[in-house]
Structure 1
Amino acid sequence: MPSIQVPEGYSYAIAAASSTILLNFWQSIRVNTARKQAGIAYPQLYAEKAEVQASKSALIFNCTQRAHQNTLETTPHNILAILVTGLTYPCVAAGLGAVWVFGRVLYTIGYSTGEPSKRNSRGGFLSSLGSLGLMLATTFTVGKLVLAEL
């Protein structure tokens, strides 16, 4: 059975993957603050259309909630990509992971303004760039590992 050796520098990849915990926590605080300001009670996930039309804070809540949800939808894939790529290229994995996390911070700040188009400013671009880089690096890494087994 093949074994996996953790390379020197893998702790950087682990740090990048672990930073997603802080990102999630920070986004959760922003969502809860926006929820309170908008007066949207649990378990309501989003403000209704009428609430949004009546209140800018309801729109801001929806946008903040969506930024967090979108991050949660992609976090598992990016964590896996960081950890797999890190097995061969730990600094590349850590760098691309950091780009993705930093991009998500900027994405959240932009989206949370209540102007959804601001999510695609620098933050959307950076997080997409980091995610694409991780996808390509993981594909290359897995291909290299599989070919080494043949």
Structure 2
Amino acid sequence: MTTLTIDPAYGWVLLAATSTFFLNSYHSINTGNYRKKAKVNYPAMFAPAERTDEDAHRFNCAQRAHVNYIENQPSAVAALLLAGIRFPITSAVMGAAWTVSRYMYMVGYSQGAEGGKGRYKGISFWLFQFGLASLAVYNGVAMILGW
């Protein structure tokens, strides 16, 4: 049996994970502001395809950025929490960088650039998410092999 001792630096991991919850709330506010400006009533998730005005387009971009965020956040947070067991500082930095990248992704995408290309400003989140997942895998293998 393995005994798990949590390094006090794991607190940074918890703070990085918590930052994702606040960013999710900010996504909701951001999307709500674009929804109001575009005059898209609930429960519609997106503006109708026949709406080609800029307000509708920006709302759709902001909404898609939020949906993409909630598609990726659970995996990123789980990987952060698992990777942080052995690598708390590295994981916390990567988790914080993931959150900053996701913020940049949201802002860029919400600007409504052609084809949603503004999201590329924060596309580096994939590097941090993959890095965290890789560290989590390493931790599992290390525990099994007794490293």
TM-score by length of 1: 0.92
Task: Provide the C-alpha distance between the structure 2 equivalents of 1:146 and 1:41, rounded to a whole number of angstroms.
Answer: 52
- Alignment of 1:60 onto 2:58: yes
Report the equivalent of 1:135.
Answer: 133
What one-letter code is carried by the residue in structure 1 that aligns with 2:100? F
Report the equivalent of 2:108.
Answer: 110
What one-letter code is carried by the residue in structure 1 that aligns with 2:56? A
C-alpha displacement of 1:3 = 3.4
State the number of aligned residues: 145
Q: Whose helix proportion is higher, 1 or 2?
A: 1
Q: Which runs of 5+ in 1 are unaligned?
A: none
RMSD: 1.2
Report the equivalent of 1:17.
Answer: 17
One of 54, 69, 72 as aligned partner of 1:71: 69
TM-score by length of 2: 0.94
Report the equivalent of 1:4.
Answer: 4
C-alpha displacement of 1:4 = 2.2
The answer on whether the counterparts of 2:16 and 2:95 sit within 8 Å (CA) in structure 1 is: yes
How much identity, in percent, do the aligned residues show?
32
Report the equivalent of 1:89.
Answer: 87
Q: Which runs of 5+ in 2 are unaligned?
A: none
